[in-house]
Structure 1
């Protein structure tokens, strides 16, 4: 679902794509009430995030967004490992150290890391080649790369990282896509999780995060099992399938099905990527998505904060930006 132009490989960097903040404040409801009111889970906090910049500069930009949100406390960070080479998937980028230092500075922070399942993850690899790669992974040929990543995270002092593994696997583009061989894809996911959990000292959680909607394959056909998934995520933008927010909720494999599936399987939910897109500056979408988040209380969510999707670093969506700022400001309800 994510526009192809944002894909992880960068012609000028080939380093980590995303630096994202997450705040620790409780969401304000559209009526201005906090989540501690009647009918809510008392004490529940929803971590709020935004893509700000790849790598270490994303950490610094948290301060600016915090100020814009009226001093909202920043509690967790989210970044991506590039999928160009196995060495980078193993955690080679220096910016991972910056995020780890940031995470260790406070005990209540959350670190979320998107991890590709294949190298050359943004190359135009054919379905036939992808199927071969999936089967190789299912046989355990790549286990060592993921053990090395887990060891690096433990060594860096972030053993409780949330791993968003093979995100948007139900789509058409990434080399780690599921459609060419769903059964072996699920076996491969299970091998990765087993390899990373075998590392002494790890306390990792694994987030299964498809695109909203059917896309190339129903994401339920790729679900690898309750024992190897901790969080059920979804990337969702204001674009088809689902021309209105109500359609985005009710469409097959949409927001409602995600929430219902997670509840049935005893999982928390998340929204690793969401934001504006085809419908431009759409404050109604922004209002409805924030209302949905307030109601369903994901572990975290992160708006993609660059044009055309964002609100703070993108000046072409002023009406949506005002909605976002009002809902998430630390001053809300004071």
Structure 2
């Protein structure tokens, strides 16, 4: 569950996404297929969002976020006895990923698609119809990764309101493409060092920037959901502040999110998984915070990591099991989760693919056993519904 997202080649580094690449035609594409889009570099940006019931009717009996099986130092002695998903589950849709083929493989429709805009300039970030136009006929929800600002801009100007107009433009872009209720991951993975354009220089200024961008976006798209999204395994930001120093406030954020890949350290034992899960930038900590603040939880990107330079666990079905248990235990607040299945052209990325190609066959089998097949009843879940 840990994809420390560093630049390419760094130990524990985040996988890089390819720069600009041609788009693969989506099965739901409504627009032309001539535009190019910038991939989500460094981490797997995948699809997501689903039409799963939105009623939070479950009373939790414990404050603990997750129940794990097995001893601390070895593999679990028991395995999950429940299979199937009863929450909003998806996968990455661009960089090019054949979502239709993924759905056929998994044996059920996806609920949400993870998208990444081209980060070239303000026009591609906030005014271009792509990639949303390719998903106008997609019945699930969209989770869109957006930089707080493109290269050449800065958090101080953002905090002064100089970019508010751009975010109002993006709200209109969502409306124009029939996605007024999209989930937007503003400044995602801000605590890594791979997306250097929008990592916090001054935490206070960055929070003001985030707040202004969210408010401007909501002024034209009031139904939009704002997700504050960190990366796992990065407790401290590059400016020296703890990751939670960048939280802009409950009045700004709808969903608390984290991206997690199996690296630095890889979860090869129960003890390691528990330790990384409960560190400040661990998924268990994020889930607890979401509960305490009355927010929904999201894991927009999660997956395996085969990079030796990042301490990746490779083909590790144990990690698939642990994440399934985590989602099951937190399904009452889980807005969505999405597996990032890195495409073949992402050779410098995490090599997390489970299907087409089946880079990790043991984990692919375990994923199908746990996540595959018809959806279970959504009792007690709170998925992000269209």
Is the 2:168–2:217 Cα contact (8 Å) retained in structure 1? yes
1:46 aligns with 87
Distance in 1 (CA, whole Å) between partners of 2:259 and 2:210 is 19
Unaligned runs of 5+ in 2: 9-14, 23-35, 40-44, 54-78, 306-311, 343-349, 378-386
Unaligned runs of 5+ in 1: 36-44, 122-129
Is the 1:303–1:310 Cα contact (8 Å) retained in structure 2? no
Per-residue CA deviations over 1:216-268 (Å, capped at 9, x if unaligned) read 24221000010110000001111115653222212233122111111111100
1:272 aligns with 300
2:19 aligns with 10
Aligned with 2:351 (options 279, 302, 308): 308
Is the 1:242–1:251 Cα contact (8 Å) retained in structure 2? no
User: What's the TM-score, normalizing by structure 2?
Assistant: 0.71
Q: CA deviation at 1:22?
A: 5.2
1:63 aligns with 100
Is the 1:8–1:82 Cα contact (8 Å) retained in structure 2? no
Is the 2:171–2:217 Cα contact (8 Å) retained in structure 1? yes
Question: Is residue 233 from structure 1 mapped to residue 233 from structure 2 by the alignment?
Answer: no
Q: What's the RMSD between the two structures over aligned residues?
A: 2.6
Q: CA deviation at 1:9?
A: 5.6
Q: CA deviation at 1:75?
A: 2.6
- The alignment partner of 1:305 has SS state of coil
Q: CA deviation at 1:85?
A: 0.7
Is the 2:159–2:212 Cα contact (8 Å) retained in structure 1? yes
1:325 aligns with 368
Higher relative contact order (CA 8 A, sep 6+): 2
1:76 aligns with 112
1:250 aligns with 278
Q: CA deviation at 1:11?
A: 4.2
Shift of the 331–152 alpha-carbon distance from structure 1 to 2, 3 Å rule, reads: closer
2:196 aligns with 175
2:137 aligns with 102
Q: CA deviation at 1:173?
A: 2.6
User: What's the TM-score, normalizing by structure 1?
Assistant: 0.82
As a proportion of its length, which structure holds more helix?
A: 1
Distance in 2 (CA, whole Å) between partners of 1:304 and 1:34 is 18
